[in-house]
Structure 1
């Protein structure tokens, strides 16, 4: 754990949680998932968050996942965890994360209830004050902070970042203009590569990448092309990879998670496609469609670290 009060930048790695034939966490598969992200240069690891099926893992499984992540990463990059749901559970998991050596946590939305701004403030404050870890606030679902609320929260030194998963352009402009670089700004939109060109001018310098779990070199190539204003390469990768995958992702609820596991299986990583309810596995026709997209993508944009099909 570091004491650096700074949000991660660049491409953010969000490992999945692989399950074995008995339905338990496949610890070797999780280790390989994290190692693969590190080998491909991702700048941080966010463990047990949305793609890690936070909603469906027990506290003991949560501890196992955090322990594995901290051990495998071994200080190479920051490790953040997911906390959220009811406030008691969120505080407990923030304290577990601190005890196990994580660098910070991403605060997921509170359970079910849509609160007023003062209620959201108290929810976030109770979690932030429960540990000394860095905190990233997630704009998502029933937890969307307005400027006056966020201004109060960023007074806590633990708050280092805001991740947006809503896509409200007016609000994002107001927040980034009025708060500026006091915090880091993270793009957490579904398949964030799709929207990243619109986020960079607002000051967002990082994004969570689902496809980095199986084609991280293409996400990196895309991000570098954005930063270098290589419009032709950006357009090519949009057309060949990002938009086709995004079309599949939108075909079924829960594909934001299960499609990642399908992609990992296709490229030969040692994980199953099993997910926990209410998420469902990728349908066979969609799996074959993704397989075709990835085969063409890897042929056109080969990786230095060979990815096999």
Structure 2
């Protein structure tokens, strides 16, 4: 677990899928096995549980509690476990945050409320209320493609004054806003959109909250190390090798393709829950081609 305040949640984190059994129920043993695999074999120093890739909107509160407990039990002594607690209801988000704190999470991921399109004053009130509810450090999740509303720079500057709001998972890819926020705050930035890992790291992000990290964690660690050492030529080389992986995973929803890949690798994943649908045979064939071009060969890793 990290103790560096400059990167409060670590460097390489993945937004972990939630493994399901074939009947759609939670696979808690699978969640523990996958979490251990990511930490022990994929160079992760942190995991984000119950995020979008974890299909949190389709999990009941009791299921979310069970998954978080299982992952903390499996890896909580050797990796940072960040719990996704944000919803579009402030009161429910606070309940989720308090539950995560009771269960022993190391931090909270709080997404911009989606669907109800709050103004910036509403975002300020929402994030502050959740941060006030526990003693855990908070990572804001800025993702306008899903929430519609971006967290504006001035709002981020005000939120950064809160002692427990310490980081941002950025899936906005507004590099001007990123640069200004870094210049005006001490927020730790984590790239939340894999295709732009390199430019965001070059601007000053301290790590990634990845989806492709399920498959290429060590190369993400290599990418971050290259940027931190100032070896941008090496960073570009690593990034170029990852481009087919980024493209393959995000041809459709990342959770759909990652679960398909994990199943092929003999790792816990199971199906996705409606309204998502599993990868078609044609999509799986394309994924195999894409990943092979990026050095990931499905069917070669089996740990069960």
Whether these two folds match at TM > 0.5 is yes
Gaps of 5+ in 2: none
Q: How does 1:164-183 map to 2 (within 5 A)?
A: 164-179=170-185, 182-183=186-187
How well do the aligned residues superpose, as a CA RMSD in angstroms? 2.5
Q: Kindly indicate whether the alpha-carbon contact (under 8 Å) linking 1:2 and 1:103 is maintained by their aligned counterparts in 2.
A: no
> 100-109 vs 217-226, which deviates more?
217-226
Q: Distance in 1 between matches of 2:265 and 2:93?
A: 35
Q: How does 1:1-309 map to 2 (within 5 A)?
A: 7-39=8-40, 40-85=42-87, 86-141=89-144, 142-179=148-185, 182-189=186-193, 192=194, 194-228=195-229, 229=231, 231=233, 234-235=236-237, 238-239=240-241, 242-252=242-252, 255-272=253-270, 274-295=271-292, 297-298=294-295, 307-308=301-302
3-state SS, counterpart of residue 138 of structure 1: strand
Residue 90 of structure 1 and its aligned partner are, at CA, apart by 0.7
The TM-score, its normalising length taken from structure 2, stands at 0.87
3-state SS, counterpart of residue 182 of structure 2: helix
Provide Cα deviations, 1:76-127, integer angstroms capped at 9, x if missing partner: 1211100112112111100000100111111012131112111110111111
3-state SS, counterpart of residue 21 of structure 2: coil
Residue 3 of structure 1 and its aligned partner are, at CA, apart by 9.5
Q: Kindly indicate whether the alpha-carbon contact (under 8 Å) linking 1:245 and 1:293 is maintained by their aligned counterparts in 2.
A: yes
TM-aligned CA distance change 1:235 to 1:4, over 3 Å = closer
TM-aligned CA distance change 1:111 to 1:295, over 3 Å = closer
Q: Kindly indicate whether the alpha-carbon contact (under 8 Å) linking 1:13 and 1:213 is maintained by their aligned counterparts in 2.
A: yes
Residue 51 of structure 1 and its aligned partner are, at CA, apart by 1.0
3-state SS, counterpart of residue 275 of structure 2: coil
Residue 236 of structure 1 and its aligned partner are, at CA, apart by 6.2
Q: Kindly indicate whether the alpha-carbon contact (under 8 Å) linking 1:140 and 1:166 is maintained by their aligned counterparts in 2.
A: yes
Q: Distance in 2 between matches of 1:72 and 1:113?
A: 36
Provide Cα deviations, 1:54-77, integer angstroms capped at 9, x if missing partner: 111000000001101111113212
Residue 291 of structure 1 and its aligned partner are, at CA, apart by 2.1
Q: Kindly indicate whether the alpha-carbon contact (under 8 Å) linking 1:214 and 1:267 is maintained by their aligned counterparts in 2.
A: no
Q: Distance in 2 between matches of 1:13 and 1:77?
A: 11
Residue 203 of structure 1 and its aligned partner are, at CA, apart by 1.2
3-state SS, counterpart of residue 107 of structure 1: strand
Where do 4+ consecutive residues of structure 1 move more than 4 Å? 1-6, 225-228, 295-300
Q: Distance in 1 between matches of 2:235 and 2:156?
A: 37
Q: Kindly indicate whether the alpha-carbon contact (under 8 Å) linking 2:10 and 2:80 is maintained by their aligned counterparts in 1.
A: no
The TM-score, its normalising length taken from structure 1, stands at 0.86
TM-aligned CA distance change 1:238 to 1:88, over 3 Å = same
TM-aligned CA distance change 1:211 to 1:249, over 3 Å = closer
3-state SS, counterpart of residue 106 of structure 1: strand
Residue 308 of structure 1 and its aligned partner are, at CA, apart by 4.8
TM-aligned CA distance change 1:62 to 1:3, over 3 Å = farther
Q: Distance in 1 between matches of 2:64 and 2:99?
A: 9
